[in-house]
Amino acid sequence: MLVLYSNPLSSPANKIRFLLHYLAIPYELKIVNIAAGEQQQSDFLKINPYGKIPAIDDNGFRLAESNAILRYLADKHHSNLYPKNLEERAIVEQWLDFAANHISTATAKVMFNTYFYRLKGATKDERSLQDGRLWLDNYLPMLEKQLAKQAYIAGNNLTIADFSLLAALDAVELININLTPYPYLKAWRQNLMAESFYQDCHSSYAAAFKAAVGTMLDEATN
Ligand SMILES: N[C@@H](CCC(=O)N[C@@H](CS)C(=O)NCC(=O)O)C(=O)O
């Protein structure tokens, strides 16, 4: 059976869970305790030598990088979430890259410098925090423009780019990003979050985050 190495607080890992549930692919979930450094232990480094989750072991075939895993699983299961047509597929690639390079990177900068730096005993980087917020101010309007003219980010059909973007935006409540100025983006997100593939993973990222690290953050702050 497919094994997914994951953690409830990892958005790149959660996007794989969204896809697995959407496609009803059976899998075994192995939680990697990042706070305890399990991703750097020899057992996990055999799965992903550079020590990051998500990673999969599909009956001996091992793969890391969340977008590569999305493509592999969608293709393997002959899903139209990853179109075969060259141009349609290229548009999906475009929005996968956009979500990774402009949205996920930005939310990660803000999340790290709002919460995770305290848990890691690191120093808050104000410049990185402001960069992350500025990127979101710049790039969320582009998502809004797309979703004002079509139902999904890469066209009128759901694709793996939507799963990637949904995960990239999962922490918006925690970092106080107000989506009210982006009504189409907000509605797209709310609709997908109401679907069972999402609810199977968590009711919301904010709830999962608070359940997992709420008290640790209080302790780190005091
Ligand atoms: N580009 C990678 C990012 C993976 C990543 O940064 N994973 C984080 C968790 S969200 C991780 O494993 N961090 C552990 C560490 O850096 O030690 C992907 O999309 O899969």
Per-residue pLDDT tens, the chain, 222 aa: give them.
999 999 999 999 999 999 999 999 999 999 999 988 999 999 999 999 999 999 999 999 999 999 999 999 999 999 999 999 999 999 999 999 999 999 999 999 999 999 999 988 899 999 999 999 999 999 999 999 999 999 999 999 999 999 999 999 999 999 999 999 999 999 999 999 999 999 999 999 999 999 988 766 666 554
- CA 122 → CA 26, 31, 130, 144, 210, distances in Å? 38, 24, 17, 34, 20
DSSP annotation of 40: G
What ligand 1 atom has the least distance to the C-alpha of 69? 20
Q: Are 165 and 95 in contact (CB under 8 A)?
A: yes
pTM: 0.95
Same domain for 117 and 182: yes
Using the 3D structure, point to which of 53, 76, 99 is the last residue of a domain. 76
- Indicate whether 81 belongs to any domain: no
- Indicate whether 184 belongs to any domain: yes
- Indicate whether 199 belongs to any domain: yes
The pocket around ligand 1, CB under 6 angstroms, is made up of 10, 12, 34, 39, 51-54, 65-66
- Indicate whether 209 belongs to any domain: yes
Count of the separate structural domains present in the chain: 2
Bridge pairing between strands 55-58 and 27-31: unpaired
What ligand 1 atom has the least distance to the C-alpha of 66? 20
